[in-house]
Amino acid sequence: MKKYLSLVLFAHTIFAMPFAFIGFFLAISTTNYPFSWMNLVFMILCMIFARNAAMAFNRYLDRNFDAKNLRTAVRDIPAGKIKAINALLFTLINCVLFIFTTYFINTLCFYLSPVALTVILGYSYTKRFTPLCHLILGIGLGLAPLGAYLLVTGEFALLPILFSLAVVCWVSGFDIIYSLQDEEFDKQHNLYSIPSVLGQKKALLVSSILHSCSVIFIILPVFLTALGWFYYLGVCFFIGLLIYQHRLVKPNDLTKVDRAFFTTNGVASVIFAVCFLLDVYFRSLF
C-alpha cells in the first residue's frame, strides 16, 4: 500500500481536494439541495479514484523518460519498486471504481465520468506534442469544484465554473514553475513545455499572467453571491501565497522550486478552502 501511495503521490491530493469541498458546499449554500453524508463520501471517493488513475497512468506512460531523467529516476517504476504492468492495472481498477461510484450519484455525473477520465488520463500524452500540456493539467484538476457541484445538484451553474477556471489558471501557472527544472531535458528528448519553448524568463511571465487570471476568477464570485469576511480573508491569503511563490523562483535560481510547488500551493489551497467553509458556516447561522 505504501508503494502505491508513493506511486500516485497521494499527498498531492491537497491541490484539488480542497476545491472539491468548495464546490460541494457551494452547491449546498447557494441552492435548496440538502447536505448528505453519502454524497460527501461519494465526492471523496471520486476524487481519490480519479487522482489515483491519473497519477498511476502518468507514471506508467512516462516510465522510460523518468528513467533517463536524474530527477525522476528514483520514481517507483524506473526504480523497480512497482512493475509497469501493475501500475497500468492499478489505473484500470481506479477508472472502473470511479465510473462505478458516479453511477450511484446521478445520471449526469455518470454520463460525464468517461469525459472526466479522458481529460485527466489524456494529459499524460500532451507533453509529447504541445506546450499547452500545463493547461490540460489545469483543466483536469479544475474539474474538481464543478464536478462536486454537479454531484449535489445535477446541473451546471456559473459560480462553480468560476472556481473551476480559478483552479485551471492556478494549476497551469504553478505547473509551469515546476517544469522549469526539466527545461533542458525536455529539449533534448523532444518534449514540450512552456519553459522548453519560451525559456525560463518568459515561462515565469506566462505563469504570472495565469496566476493573475486565477485571482480574477476567485474574486468574481463576490459579485454573484453573498460572501463574507472569511472569504475575503481567504482571497487575501491565496493572493499573498501566489506572490510569495513567484518571489521564491528566479530564472537563475531554481533551488526553491519544490517549496514553491508543493508547500506554498498546498497551503494556499487549504487555507482558501477553510476560509470559504468558515464563511459558509457562519453565514448559515444568521
pLDDT at 32: 92
CB 195 within 8 A of CB 180: yes
**CATH number reported for the structural domain that contains residue 49 in this entry:** 1.10.357.140
DSSP state of 250: B
d(CA 174, CA 83): 30
Residues contacting 22, CB < 8 A, separation 6+ = 145, 148, 163, 272, 273, 276, 277
pLDDT at 270: 93
Look at residues 143, 203, 207 and name the one whose alpha carbon lies nearest to residue 169.
207
Angle at alpha carbon of residue 244, lines to 131 and 222, rounded to 5°: 85
pLDDT at 74: 86
Adjacent-strand bridge partners of 181: none
Domain total in the chain: 1
d(CA 77, CA 83): 6
Q: What is the dihedral of CA 75, 77, 79, 83, to 10 degrees?
A: 150
DSSP state of 209: H
pLDDT at 265: 87
pLDDT at 3: 62
d(CA 262, CA 98): 26
Residues contacting 67, CB < 8 A, separation 6+ = 73, 78
C-alpha cell, 258: 519544490
What is the domain extent for residue 274? Answer: 2-284
Question: What does the pLDDT profile of the chain (286 residues) look like in tens digits?
Answer: 666 566 656 556 778 899 999 999 999 999 999 999 999 999 999 999 999 999 999 999 999 999 999 988 988 888 888 899 999 999 999 999 999 999 999 999 999 999 999 999 999 999 999 999 999 999 999 999 999 999 999 999 999 999 999 999 999 999 999 999 999 999 999 999 999 999 999 999 999 999 999 999 999 999 999 999 999 999 999 999 999 999 888 877 777 777 666 778 889 999 999 999 999 999 888 7
Q: How distant, in Å, are the alpha carbons of 22, 29, 90, 280 from that of 158?
A: 14, 14, 35, 18
Angle at alpha carbon of residue 48, lines to 44 and 53, rounded to 5°: 150
